[in-house]
Structure 1
């Protein structure tokens, strides 16, 4: 029969634990060396029996009082049981015995952070960096980056990761992390230089190409970003995040067909996600292929039924096709989730108005005005609806309120003129038209859109003509 090393190790460990239990109870005087105590501590620690692990550490230290390793093990357990000050005292003692153990600095850092003493943690690690090289220095830099994260010194996190990559350009953990922190801190130019250097040394690092692309994207250099993503994909054809980001870059460039192609690749490589379906829907929407846009918005909605925005987007595709009643059904669903969302109320108001249901439309537009009292388009929609529904007295009140809330925007002066005309108050109408033409003559088209027949009034034509004659544009 073959020997089974794992089984032998387990048997040996069981024997060590048995000897420890006997030693603890005073039934045996078996000799346990330093390494045996370490294995026993780890055995109990792995089983989350911290009390017995601590007892093993204390018994080991009694027998080996000059063992820095056992002192460090005990400090680790004390930190796990939230005895931070005691752990720091033990670590001070261990440092006198062996100051070259990296775990000393990592555990001290953990204790300082737990005690909300970030400054001490930073100072400790910055000093420790001078003592270590190679992998140990990299480990400390990662630890320091975590401290800076806790301390919200975000630029210094980037600095730590940059130092790691300068020492070990192909460190995957650092490559993954620096991509996020580049975007967060906006240090795209530095990231570009760093990753170009890495690529010179490691031209087949798909992560370096991806990070380079992401930094270009952060600077809105979308063509360069796409080129770099393509290199990442050549190296790793299943790099779904590269396809995902490339899709976003194509959308920014309004290259919707290309975006759809790469986003569909994402769907092949990873689990279906609502955001990818939504992005593809958005591309078809922009291409005015509303049926396909709906298809993908609905797919997204099936994966995220509580996202009201997706129901709203489906409704908008129907609005674009003037299918008002079908749009209303989807807007109803969106409004059940978020009743006072201004965009949904605005769209519903538009649908109701187009169907001649003016009173209901007015209610929806009024909701928007309450939510956005200084928004011009909200007031414009409400006044337009009141005018089209021939509620001229109410339109007059609302247009005056709009002028007050928007600090006299010229649009509402033209609307005021239009409402006065509708009420038969010709003198007031002409006065307001003169006033509006004097401020923003080009906006007269808004008055014409409100009531195309207004140009049949000779007095209106005269005012507009006189202004054009006196003040040529």
Structure 2
């Protein structure tokens, strides 16, 4: 049977899809087109929205709403001048149309003129019937300007008009956190819960506030109420588990994390925390099982791989640890933390060349921890790579000027290459800053610093 494009028994989207598939042109009223275009824009199907807008305006050239969609698409394409011209034309036709102000504000927001965007949105708020969305947009613009107090007030206005707008609630809490207004946040949430006592999101946020204040018993109570309000709220179980860990109630924490595994798709975070809890209970087999499940679930989670590596390092099984460290590096070779750990494990195994390479890669990727310069310097001394050692110490001194540990190594290498005057000078400078380093010379470098030189330094 031939599909009838204008059959009122079919939804507008289905009719439009059929029309495109059959290359026919059917008629839609303007409201149908608005539904179709809005659907495609929401779904991110921009090309289909583009086709729908073009056909819609050809059939309804005087529709302000359809031309507003065209302006929105022009803004999406960064064609701001064309969009502005079109919006000005529409403003002459409907000067009290809030959406025109909103789209103009969108242009100014995208061009980083946030103050102008706010002024336009304030005009939109005066003429719109849906003020909550506009206040939310003003709040976002204030966030761009880092005006957290003003942003918070606008999100609060939004939430007062729409108690179900949890994105506004999250934004309010973000502002409270940034402003370090912990008690004010708690008071706000308590007032909100007086009006909406079964809001699991608000209870969850209240629990987080108490957690940050280390008031763990109150945090537990808040998470319990969140779970009572919605017994499938995974976030509340996870957060409650974290609180129980802080209280060293590991078996109870395990119960909370295990609950989440049955409610929805398992999360790598839950498996990681389960592993940590089992470790605390000295249940090694269950710990490593959960760590392995963690990286299966999310192979890019740093903490999962490092938990496995630490597990084997603590048991002095460095060869096994190295195997997992190599797997982690294969997955994410640009991770400086992985290379640092790789270097330290190789050092434990006396694989000096591999350890040196690991430290070098970690530094190239931006890890400039002090220990890295010292460990790499000692390895380069062991390997006899004197030129690389000098470069390493000089580079380290740029980050840690006049550091006695680095100056000590510079002195040692100068003696090693026969520059005794420079060597003694660097060693003296290091020992004047930290006399206890004489022990390092005895323990690590007595084969390099001669007895005569050492006696001179001590004297």
Please report the TM-score for the alignment, with normalisation by the length of structure 2. Answer: 0.67
Q: 1:414 to 1:208 in 2, by over 3 A?
A: same
* 1:414-463 alpha-carbon deviations (Å, 9 max, x no partner): 6689999999x99999998886565335566656775899xxx9x999x9
CA contact (8 A) 1:256 1:283 kept: yes
Q: Distance in 1 between matches of 2:414 and 2:32?
A: 89
Cα displacement string for residues 161-191 of structure 1 (whole angstroms, at most 9, x for unaligned residues):
2123345556545335534554566554433
2:309–2:324 contact (8 Å) kept in structure 1:
yes
The 2-side partners of 1:414 and 1:12 are apart by: 82
Query: Do 1:415 and 1:447's aligned partners in 2 also have CA atoms closer than 8 Å?
Result: no
Contact in 1 for aligned 2:216/2:243 (Cα 8 Å): yes
Shift in alpha-carbon separation, 1:372–1:288, aligned structure 2, 3 A: farther
The answer as to whether partners of 2:336 and 2:367 remain within 8 angstroms in 1 is no
- More deviation, 123-132/389-398: 389-398
* Aligned residue among 315, 320, 325 for 2:314: 320
Q: Secondary structure at the match of 2:221?
A: helix
Q: What residue is the counterpart of 1:242 in the other structure?
A: 236
Alignment length (residue pairs): 412
In structure 1, C-alpha distance between the alignment counterparts of 2:124 and 2:402, rounded to whole Å: 65
Aligned to 1:208: 202
- 8 Å CA contact 1:324–1:354 kept in 2: the answer is yes
Contact 2:295 2:304 in 1 (8 A): yes
Determine which of 21, 35, 57 is the counterpart of 1:54: 57
- Unpaired runs of at least 5, structure 1: 1-8, 18-36, 62-70, 467-473
2:86 paired residue number: 86
Q: 1:126: which partner in 2?
A: 122
Q: Which residue, out of 9, 33, 40, partners 2:29?
A: 40
1:165 maps to 159
Give yes or no for contact 1:199–1:205 (8 Å, CA) kept in 2: yes
Verify: 1:195 aligned to 2:189, yes or no.
Answer: yes
Deviations 1:388-414 (A, max 9, x none): x58597898689658855433333566
Q: 1:298 aligns with which of 285, 292, 296?
A: 292
Asked if the contact 2:393/2:410 (under 8 Å) is kept, the reply is yes
Q: CA deviation at 1:299?
A: 1.1
- Provide closer, same or farther for how the CA distance between residues 44 and 289 of structure 1 changes in structure 2, counting only shifts above 3 A: same
What CA distance in whole angstroms lies between the structure 2 residues aligned with 1:265 and 1:449?
Answer: 53
In the TM superposition, residue 271 of structure 1 has moved relative to its aligned partner by: 1.0
2:103 aligned with 1:110 = yes
Whose Rg is larger?
1
CA distance in 2, matches of 1:252, 1:243: 14
Distance of aligned partners of 1:219 and 1:399 in 2 relative to their CA distance in 1, 3 Å threshold? same
1:350 positional shift: 3.5
Match of 1:378 among 348, 352, 372: 372
8 A contact 1:158–1:178 mirrored in 2: yes
Structure 2 counterpart of 1:26: none
Q: Tell me which of 8, 11, 21 is aligned to 1:10.
A: 8
Report if aligned partners of 1:57, 1:73 keep a CA contact under 8 Å in 2: no
Q: Does 1:271 align with 2:265?
A: yes
Q: Residues 312 and 105 from structure 1, CA distance in 2 versus in 1: closer, same or farther, beyond 3 angstroms?
A: same
Change (3 A) 1:107 1:152: farther
Q: What TM-score results when the alignment is normalised by the length of structure 1?
A: 0.66
Give me the CA root mean square deviation: 5.0
